[in-house]
Structure 1
Amino acid sequence: MNIDYFTEAWKKDLSELEDTQQFWNMRADEFNNQHGNKQGEQRRQQVIEFLTSRDMLPADAEILDIGCGPGKYSVEFAQKTKQVTGIDISPKMLEYACENAWQHKLDNVLFELSPWETLSLEECGWQKKYDLVFASMCPGISSSDSLLKMCRASKDACFLSGFVERKDNLRDKLHQAVYGKNPDHRWGKNIYYAINLLWLSGYYPEITYYDNEFDHVWPLDKAVELYSHQLKRMTKLSPVTGDIDDKIAGYLGSIAVDGLVSEKVQSKIAWLCWKV
């Protein structure tokens, strides 16, 4: 299999970007709170230590944080390096990012609203601009072009992390209850494609794996909204309405405890870092 095979196999429908923005706007509150808790802080420090041990966060570095979300990594980087630019598709995520940077009194971090998939490095003047191009669990790295664009934006190093395996037991059971079949899991495909494309493009990523477990707890109405949106995205169907929406609400209502829906997620995550 040559590079054309993986380029063809790994594509993203850009017509989904508006829907993607809506989804991450819905999850901005959750992500800001999640990344601010003890477990989120621990995971973040593991990544910081990993990058520091490889001399990827020198004091004079300029960093691009793709899919920065509420800006937790951007804030960490800005406290250690010269300049940070964070981009995200979600306006609500960036509201939190700006607030978090302000709370730390940082003036060396900028946030921009932009989907990475359609961003032009030439128009932004970002070709070979950044010492580190960083994308942590970023759904925007979803094609050959979006991956190799990271390399074109970097003048030294890149970091990418993503799921290799993931078990969402509640979501899988819900999918079975609503559609009568198990979902087609995509976990691991992006990392598999990324490793092969990097190799075939002349880059040799260091790969590190670690196991992770975390919990989701939502009020019932929020859970119905999120799972409805997720199942629609997973099955590529038109917006979930009517009978299907009722099935989702009914199933989640039957398992809710004191008005809350909980799910434990188990996963294996890969960290890829490489020099350009």
Structure 2
Amino acid sequence: MKPFFNPTIWQQEWKEYGDGAAIRMKRSGIDPATAFNSKAQKFNEQSFNEEGRRRSARIVNWLASRGVKFEGASILDVGAASGVFTVPFAERGARVTAFESSPPQVELLKENTARFTENKVEIVSGEFEQIDIEAKGWNEAFDLVFVSMCPVVHDWDSVERILSCARQFAYISMPVSSAESSLVSEVVPLITGEKFQPKITEMAFLLHLLCLNGYAYETLVTRELKTTEFTPEEALEHAMIWLSHHNLPADDRSRSIVKQHIRQNYPADRVQIHEGGRFGKVLIRLQEQNMYVEE
């Protein structure tokens, strides 16, 4: 059998892939489980402002359009953050178990879900990889397992772990290409002499292995952007971390170039950056595997 059709080879290739989100974080000295500790408040504000709510609504509405029922459903939200999807799920009548590893995010999650008293949101903290699925009673326990842009998905073993918790549906979203930043796109040519080129990421492994392993699924690839305001100091650090994540020069010379660029091209107190890229959304059907037609 040719390697293209051999799932074992692809599983091993993904396991050895050296440029995944979790690996890039670790390469920059960041623990994926606590990566958002310092950004929790800003991320929470972005999640629940008008733009953030619209982003969440588009995804929830897409799931609903594909036959996912929320009223009375049991949902496991892995990487729940401060409740960006937990809240709209609960608002639609779902019973949500929200899993989050970052302590500051957990505190915000508690605040944002405190109003749900009839269907109380259960919050579980820790590292998802360390959870005993059987002991928790999570094996095929949830109508929907929802994992959005979370580094717990880093190889096929982690995908199977997620699928083991699902009864009807599993949703996984990941970048299709490396993330983009307007500031980084501006400074990379100044640093390297070449235009910043996004790279195809782990989503290709996920889709191919779902196909080879016989799963029924629907996928959607879109381009999404969000706007964030930083102080000049925050923008500088943002750019340096971004360069490091993408294995680009993040030395003193680069820092000097970025600092000068910000000073010359942005207001003294506020730097507006557009972030985003191409993102893939996959809905895996574990029960009714025929083509869904909305009635």
Normalising by structure 1, we get a TM-score of 0.84
Query: How much has 1:115 moved relative to structure 2?
Result: 3.1
**How many Å separate the matches in 1 of 2:248 and 2:117?**
43
Q: 1:138 aligns with which of 150, 154, 163?
A: 150
Please tell me whether the aligned partners of residues 218 and 261 of structure 1 are also in contact (alpha carbons under 8 angstroms).
yes
**How many Å separate the matches in 2 of 1:236 and 1:175?**
8
Please tell me whether the aligned partners of residues 57 and 81 of structure 1 are also in contact (alpha carbons under 8 angstroms).
no
Unaligned ranges ≥5, structure 1: none
Q: Which one-letter code corresponds to 1:5 in the other structure?
A: I
Q: 2:100 aligns with which of 63, 80, 88?
A: 88
Moved more, 34-43 or 166-175: 166-175
**How many Å separate the matches in 1 of 2:83 and 2:237?**
24
Unaligned ranges ≥5, structure 2: 287-295
Please tell me whether the aligned partners of residues 203 and 280 of structure 2 are also in contact (alpha carbons under 8 angstroms).
yes
Q: Which one-letter code corresponds to 1:257 in the other structure?
A: P
1:126 aligned partner: 138
Name the larger-Rg structure: 2
Query: How much has 1:5 moved relative to structure 2?
Result: 2.3
| 2:117 paired with 1:113 | no
Please tell me whether the aligned partners of residues 74 and 86 of structure 1 are also in contact (alpha carbons under 8 angstroms).
yes
Please tell me whether the aligned partners of residues 66 and 134 of structure 1 are also in contact (alpha carbons under 8 angstroms).
yes
**How many Å separate the matches in 2 of 1:22 and 1:159?**
23
Query: How much has 1:256 moved relative to structure 2?
Result: 2.8
Query: How much has 1:261 moved relative to structure 2?
Result: 1.7
**How many Å separate the matches in 1 of 2:285 and 2:142?**
12
Query: How much has 1:118 moved relative to structure 2?
Result: 4.1
Please tell me whether the aligned partners of residues 78 and 99 of structure 2 are also in contact (alpha carbons under 8 angstroms).
yes
The correspondence of residues 136-175 of structure 1 with structure 2, limited to 5 A, is: 136-165=148-177, 166-175=179-188
| Partner SS, residue 284 of structure 2 | strand
Moved more, 99-108 or 131-140: 99-108
Please tell me whether the aligned partners of residues 218 and 283 of structure 2 are also in contact (alpha carbons under 8 angstroms).
yes
Query: How much has 1:56 moved relative to structure 2?
Result: 1.9
2:8 aligned partner: 4
Q: Which one-letter code corresponds to 1:69 in the other structure?
A: A
Q: Which one-letter code corresponds to 1:155 in the other structure?
A: R
1:212 aligned partner: 224
Identity %, equivalent residues: 22
**How many Å separate the matches in 1 of 2:227 and 2:192?**
25
Structure 1 residues 26 and 253: CA distance shift in structure 2, 3 A: farther
Query: How much has 1:84 moved relative to structure 2?
Result: 0.9
2:207 aligned partner: 195
Please tell me whether the aligned partners of residues 168 and 266 of structure 1 are also in contact (alpha carbons under 8 angstroms).
yes
Deviations 1:223-254 (A, max 9, x none): 223332332233299xx675554444344333
**How many Å separate the matches in 2 of 1:113 and 1:226?**
27
| Partner SS, residue 246 of structure 2 | helix
The correspondence of residues 1-276 of structure 1 with structure 2, limited to 5 A, is: 1=4, 2-11=6-15, 16=26, 19-103=31-115, 105=117, 108-165=120-177, 166-178=179-191, 185-186=198-199, 188-235=200-247, 244-265=254-275, 267-276=277-286
Query: How much has 1:123 moved relative to structure 2?
Result: 4.0
**How many Å separate the matches in 2 of 1:181 and 1:115?**
39
CA RMSD after TM alignment:
2.8
**How many Å separate the matches in 1 of 2:186 and 2:207?**
31
| Partner SS, residue 71 of structure 2 | coil
Normalising by structure 2, we get a TM-score of 0.80
> How many residue pairs are counted as aligned between the two chains?
273
Deviations 1:41-73 (A, max 9, x none): 112112222222333234231111111111121
Hey, which of these two has a bigger chunk of helix by percent? 1
Deviations 1:134-186 (A, max 9, x none): 01222322221222211111111111222324542321333444466666744
Query: How much has 1:129 moved relative to structure 2?
Result: 1.3
Please tell me whether the aligned partners of residues 117 and 141 of structure 1 are also in contact (alpha carbons under 8 angstroms).
no
